[in-house]
Amino acid sequence: MGAQLRVYRRRIKSVKATKKITKAMELIASSRIVKAQQRVQAATPYTRELTRAISAAASHGNVDHPLVRTQAKEVKRAAIVLVTADRGLAGAYSSNIIKEGEQLTALLKERGLEVEPFLVGRKAVGYYKFRERKIAGSWTGFTDQPMYSNAKEIAAALLEKFVAPVEQGGVQEIHIVYTHFANMVTQTPTVTRILPLQVQEVSAEDAKKSGSYFPLYEFEPSPEGVLDALLPRYIENLVYTSLLLAAASEHAARRRAMKSATDNAEEMIRALSRAANQARQAEITQEISEIVGGADALASANAGN
């Protein structure tokens, strides 16, 4: 066997081994997407009812709460939360979030705000550490399967920053950047302002058209007390929902990337197989030519004798 043919066969064996790995990762990501979608659907009813309760409490009279104030008189500092992945092999999933975060940071700085970055996922942490940037907080190790305890820890750090005075490093705005999972094909980087909450006034006519009437609640001890208890849960739920959607998007991006890698491996195997067949055919042709040449030379020598 020629040296060239051995090289081709060794490369084919290596590509086949890589193909097995990418195919396995594609199947794993496909199964995890379904589980992530189920977790998002399971959290939806709680989010809907919690939003209705908070909306009813906030619309009950003149409620003055620091988390529902529309805007501070003078905004000096804002926080952004970037939700990226802990692992790679997911295409441009994390880089798109980082790019969106850079654009949001530029917009906030144009308004004269100081930006405090909170990072979720090793990709964002590595990006900021490599450039020696300031990191206000970071969490890693759970991006593909987030738990409510993780969201609770992140929300607690954000609320602590939000309620702190500006002189002590507090922030007046908090934005979260994550990938919204629409379906298996579409995942979009999304920016959402978490705090302060946006309170919208809706007329009775508009509420009648949209069917968004609230039940007649009686608040004990007061609407302010209800908001004190519910708003932290609401912020935790917002962060948790963002983490769940980002996890589903990460699995979808990894599935798409691994499928593309598997297809590329199959195409490379076909190309290498053709090249190996050509090399083998060339060796056979050369051997036949040498045999025929040797036979002719021997026949000529015998005829001369």
Express each pLDDT in 214-243 by its tens digit. Answer: 566 676 777 677 777 788 888 899 899 999
The pLDDT tens digits of the residues spanning 122-179 come to 999 999 999 999 999 999 999 989 999 999 999 999 988 888 887 888 888 899 999 9
Q: What is the pTM (predicted TM-score) of this model?
A: 0.82
Higher pLDDT residue, 4 or 261?
261
Which residues neighbour 213 within 8 Å (Cβ) at sequence distance 6 or greater? 207
Residue of 43, 229, 48 lying closest to 148 (CA atoms): 43
**CA 206 vs CA 164, 201, 213, 215, 218: distances in Å:** 37, 10, 10, 16, 24
Distance CA 261, CA 249 (A): 18
Band (pLDDT 50/70/90 cuts) for residue 43 is: confident
Distance CA 101, CA 177 (A): 7
Tokens 């705000």 identify what position? 113
Band (pLDDT 50/70/90 cuts) for residue 304 is: low
Note the pLDDT of residue 245.
Answer: 92
The pLDDT tens digits of the residues spanning 6-17 come to 888 899 999 999
- Multiple choice CATH, 3-26+258-291, 1.10.730.10, 1.10.357.10, 3.30.70.360, 1.10.287.80: 1.10.287.80
Distance CA 244, CA 41 (A): 10
Q: What share of the chain is helix, strand, coil (3-state, %, to 5)?
A: 65, 10, 25
Same fold yes or no, 3-26+258-291 and 28-55+65-201+226-255? no
Two tokens, residue 41 = 């659907």
Note the pLDDT of residue 214.
Answer: 55
Note the pLDDT of residue 60.
Answer: 60
As assigned by CATH, the class of the 28-55+65-201+226-255 domain is alpha beta
Two tokens, residue 68 = 């529902």
Asked if residues 81 and 118 have their Cβ atoms less than 8 Å apart, the reply is yes
Domain boundaries, the chain: 3-26+258-291, 28-55+65-201+226-255
